[in-house]
Structure 1
Amino acid sequence: MVTRSFNRAERVGGQVQKVLANLIRRGVSDPRLAQATITGVTLSRDLRIAKIYVAAHGGASGEQALLAGFESAKGFIKRELARELGLRYMPELRFFYDASFDYGAHINRVLKSIKINDEKNNPTTDDQ
């Protein structure tokens, strides 16, 4: 059995994600961020750069507005993260749109359309 120890960047990344999710839920008043979800945080080994992956319920159509909202709130977010985490150096925050939810929704729609087509072409009857 192989055990994997988490390095400091992974632990701090998890803390950043948790604090940022709570901050968005309760503290950021920008309406562009109302439906935002933090899908992941990756920190560089030296903890200087935090790549924050975000998604929104609205999908890719609101990607630019979502990223613009995070950019405009970056100073506030950075101050709050620094206050909560107590790190010596606050990492530079970089926001990226995570399209995996959009892709998953697309796959779900494709699978549903296949099921509907299959039911039309191969109807089941209760007489069997």
Structure 2
Amino acid sequence: MGKNRHHEGSGPSQRQLRVGELIRRTLSDVLARGDVHDPELNRMSITVGEVRTSPDLKIATVYVMPLGGGERAEAIDALKRNRGELRRALMRDMTLKYAPDLRFLIDETFDQMDATRRLFQDEKVRRDIEAPDAEDASPEDKA
């Protein structure tokens, strides 16, 4: 049972990664199908970007983003309000001994990707990227 204890400091275990991905897919399906009895939540299109589980699998942190990036606070509130029903849906659709406690956070990686996209669209950055390497490199660098 405690065989993975010495790996705790080195990132998530394979089991944590596998269960996190299974929870991510299951929650994505539940939200896409509108299985939750909350009209406000069902009208939102929410992407589940990632799920990270605690080493004991009792807590699952769910990183989400509403479509278009708007209504973030409303999406988090709706998910929190329906936490119990979402846990029951996980138990129904997955083969876990117990459903983890769900915590919902906005997935900031979407913002980082947008910022990166904007950066690459900047004319000065594009000029620098598209500049031929041959002009910038000295003869020693080409060897």
TM-score by length of 1: 0.75
> Mind listing any 5+ residue stretches in structure 1 that lack a counterpart?
1-5, 119-128
Match of 2:25 among 2, 18, 21: 18
Match of 2:6 in 1: none
Give the number of aligned pairs.
112
SS at match of 1:93: strand
Which sits farther off after the overlay, 40-49 or 105-114? 105-114
Structure number with higher relative contact order (C-alpha < 8 Å, ≥ 6 residues apart): 1
CA RMSD of aligned residues (A): 2.3
| Counterparts of 1:30 and 1:94, CA distance in 2 | 21
Match of 1:103 among 112, 117, 125: 112
Match of 1:7 among 8, 14, 34: 14
Query: What amino acid sits opposite 2:56 in the alignment?
Result: D
Match of 1:68 in 2: 77
Runs of 4+ in 1 over 3 A off after TM superposition: 28-33
Q: 1:57-100, CA deviations, whole angstroms, 9 ceiling, x for partnerless residues?
A: 232x4221110011111111000101111311211100110121
| Counterparts of 2:52 and 2:39, CA distance in 1 | 24
Which sits farther off after the overlay, 93-102 or 6-15? 6-15
Asked whether the equivalents of residues 30 and 69 of structure 1 are also in contact (C-alpha less than 8 Å), the reply is no
Asked whether the equivalents of residues 42 and 50 of structure 1 are also in contact (C-alpha less than 8 Å), the reply is yes
Query: What amino acid sits opposite 1:107 in the alignment?
Result: T
Match of 1:54 in 2: 64
Query: What amino acid sits opposite 2:64 in the alignment?
Result: V
Match of 1:121 in 2: none
